[in-house]
Structure 1
Amino acid sequence: MQKPLVSILIPFKDTEAYLPECIESILQQDYPFWEVLAIDDASSDDSYDLVHRFALKDSRIRLLKNQGSGIIAALRTAYDNCHGELITRMDSDDIMTLDKIGTMVNLLLQKGMGHLAVGQVAYFSYRGISNGYARYEKWLNELTAKGSNYTEIYKECVIPSPCWMAFREDLNRCGAFEPDRYPEDYDLTFRFYENKLECIPCSKVLHHWRDYDDRTSRTSEHYAANYFLDIKLHYFLKLDYEANRPLVVWGAGNKGKTIAKRLLAKNISFEWICDNPKKINKDIYGKKLQHFQVLNQLENPQNIITVANEKEQEAIKTFFKGLDRTPMNDYFFFC
């Protein structure tokens, strides 16, 4: 049986320090049927020449210039020029485990169309990993182990951008890299969710994710908190919001205020609640904050939770359980 070709899409810009390790990890894969589409997004260092030297040695590596500007345009350039039946992304500063491509191919071939192969990730850094990244890694891997990634999709991006693989037809059905919406990986994750691509459970670390001060997700404005909130609200209103049910926003911190402001701008009616005595009955943006016990009086509301404290989140879950409410139907954690 002919093994499917995997197209590995790699946008890069000024990552000459990391590209050799990245490409070597691909060359060493135990699955040999792949092609790399390496797209230079106007690098000012030696990245282009470095990849060119690899391409001269291995015809599976194809080097192109970005036909636009930025990572989304680079992904489009790669996708427009690739030939694989299966598609995956790779970050130019990261490292694959030796069995990454083969493992994901086997998962997809076992499950078939309508599925998304995902793998566990491990952060690494010369200075050690911060507590925040360690918690994100643990949370993400626990979801991936069960294939339950979408159950907490409104919290954070539940599909690691460089560690998924899909059939080309499924990716096309999801709109591939067409939208100009950042963060592009989170937007694509929501479109996987929208089109019901089922995540295949995976208990193996397949990708080593490098952290350093000037990585794009740390420095680009496109990965600021307000962009994430805008995507969450956009897809909530499109996919899970039921206009015939009362809508409630729980929390009046920065995220709660941002969500409230966005809803007011869209003329969407909502109740605003909290459990902070100092804020109850306070007027913000013309809306009066109410005590959360008002939920006992509302008929079948949907709730956006913007409370970030983990202990308070557990208390909120217990409260909703007492009301016989269920996550991803009656309440949605946005942080």
Structure 2
Amino acid sequence: MISVALPCYNSKEGLEACLESLLAQTWEDFEVVAVNDGSLDDTLALLRRYAARDSRIRVFDRPHGGVVQAMNFAVEHCRGEYVARMDSDDVCLPERLALQKAHLDRHPHLGLVGGLVRFGGDPETGRGYKAYVDWTNTLVTEEEISVSRFVESPYANPSIMFRKELVSRCGPFYDGPFPEDYEFLLRLMAAGVRMDKIPREVLIWNDPPSRLTRTDPRYDPDAFYRTKAGYLARWLASRGIGRVSIIGGGRITRRRALMLEEHGIVIDCWLEVDPDKIGQRAGGRPVCSWHDVGAPQGEFLVSYVGSRGAGARIASELEERGWIAGIHFLLAA
């Protein structure tokens, strides 16, 4: 019923704990499709030792091609109806597979399910990462995930389980200068795939210094903004929205928001709180006062203010003025 897709590259440090957590699952009818992506350490030998111990672990050895190629190879060789993503430096909690399978069984309209995750890094050196984990854990329902998808990825990638048929319908993970996991989720949602989470912890999400999100340029902030711009523009156009006003007028905000114009969305103005900027023009557009925004009157707002906690404050103020997320405004940072 369940296949666990596990790409591995130089994974010796965390791999044993990862595999032990899978073999300790309360749901026992699963396979682990482990792909060694040309590791230079003892990853392959460790995988083979575990495969000799438990026939549910299937090991494939490939020349190094990167995580996306290894991941797609793993999914291609998955025999289960459901595919669970897993990273070799993370740990599954014992009921993860059972809980997610039961949820998909009970809700056939869903194509993908996640779960809450526990931060497994240093709370001091990994404060930013922990803040992101805490934010993802606030998003559980379909509506919460859908309306928040353009802020950041609403899922910890190794916490998801999805129906394998989605790959045939929507395509595999794409390889390019962008975060492949986030792009995959945005593409599924754009295709109408429904998804949510179970409100239980399913994974310990570790944060080692070697994690790709820390070291690979495809996961830098601008790569995320470029990825989301196309899907956000498509979402707006599908609702007949061709013009927006942007909350935030700083240089970085403007650069990221202007990516929307590459996809046909017109930016009418910047909404700012800094009184020294209000009344000026930036990039050929007027800078207007955020404080003058009243009840919605047909315009659509997109917030690109990225400072910590700003999104929640902006959403709260807009809702007090009668604006509804997903109807009148969206957060994109």
Given the two structures, how large is their TM-score scaled by the length of structure 1? 0.88
* Contact 2:233/2:260 (8 A) holds in 1: no
SS at 1:261 equivalent: helix
- Structure 2 CA distance for partners of 1:194 and 1:268, relative to 1, 3 Å: closer
Give, in angstroms, the shift of residue 144 of structure 1: 2.3
Two-structure CA RMSD over aligned residues (Å): 2.6
SS at 1:230 equivalent: helix
Measure the CA separation in 2 of the matches of 1:215 and 1:201: 24
Which amino acid is the alignment partner of residue 95 of structure 2?
Answer: D
* Contact 1:67/1:77 (8 A) holds in 2: no
SS at 2:12 equivalent: coil
Unaligned 5+ runs, structure 1: none
SS at 1:170 equivalent: helix
* Contact 1:113/1:170 (8 A) holds in 2: no
SS at 2:178 equivalent: coil
2:227 equivalent to 1:227: no
Match of 1:252 among 249, 252, 260: 249
**In the TM superposition, what are the counterparts of 1:303-318 in structure 2 within 5 Å?**
303-309=301-307, 312-318=310-316
Measure the CA separation in 2 of the matches of 1:129 and 1:205: 23
Unaligned 5+ runs, structure 2: none
SS at 2:74 equivalent: helix
1:284-310 Cα shifts (integer Å, max 9, x gaps):
333342333675599512221011245
SS at 1:84 equivalent: coil
Moved more, 147-156 or 286-295: 286-295
* Contact 1:84/1:168 (8 A) holds in 2: yes
Which amino acid is the alignment partner of residue 145 of structure 2?
Answer: N
SS at 1:192 equivalent: helix
Which amino acid is the alignment partner of residue 109 of structure 1?
Answer: D
Measure the CA separation in 2 of the matches of 1:107 and 1:219: 34
- Structure 2 CA distance for partners of 1:140 and 1:267, relative to 1, 3 Å: closer
2:103 equivalent to 1:107: yes
* Contact 2:120/2:207 (8 A) holds in 1: yes
**In the TM superposition, what are the counterparts of 1:260-271 in structure 2 within 5 Å?**
260-266=257-263, 268-271=265-268
* Contact 1:19/1:93 (8 A) holds in 2: yes
Give, in angstroms, the shift of residue 175 of structure 1: 2.1
2:166 equivalent to 1:170: yes
Give, in angstroms, the shift of residue 230 of structure 1: 1.0
Match of 2:44 among 48, 51, 61: 48
Which amino acid is the alignment partner of residue 270 of structure 1?
Answer: I
* Contact 2:174/2:184 (8 A) holds in 1: no
Match of 1:122 among 74, 98, 118: 118
SS at 1:272 equivalent: strand
* Contact 1:248/1:303 (8 A) holds in 2: yes
Moved more, 221-230 or 268-277: 268-277
- Structure 2 CA distance for partners of 1:67 and 1:111, relative to 1, 3 Å: farther
Percent identity (aligned): 24
Give, in angstroms, the shift of residue 171 of structure 1: 4.1
1:101-139 Cα shifts (integer Å, max 9, x gaps):
111111111112434221110011367663333332222
Measure the CA separation in 2 of the matches of 1:127 and 1:322: 34
Measure the CA separation in 2 of the matches of 1:136 and 1:334: 14
Measure the CA separation in 1 of the matches of 2:146 and 2:264: 28
Moved more, 140-149 or 186-195: 140-149
* Contact 2:38/2:63 (8 A) holds in 1: no
Give, in angstroms, the shift of residue 95 of structure 1: 0.6
Given the two structures, how large is their TM-score scaled by the length of structure 2? 0.89
2:170 equivalent to 1:185: no
SS at 2:231 equivalent: helix
- Structure 2 CA distance for partners of 1:311 and 1:58, relative to 1, 3 Å: closer
SS at 1:35 equivalent: strand
Measure the CA separation in 1 of the matches of 2:316 and 2:93: 40
Give, in angstroms, the shift of residue 243 of structure 1: 4.9
* Contact 2:121/2:207 (8 A) holds in 1: yes
Give, in angstroms, the shift of residue 211 of structure 1: 0.9
1:205-231 Cα shifts (integer Å, max 9, x gaps):
110111122211111111100011112
Residues paired across the two proteins, number:
331
* Contact 2:296/2:322 (8 A) holds in 1: no
Counterpart position of 2:283: 285
- Structure 2 CA distance for partners of 1:134 and 1:67, relative to 1, 3 Å: same
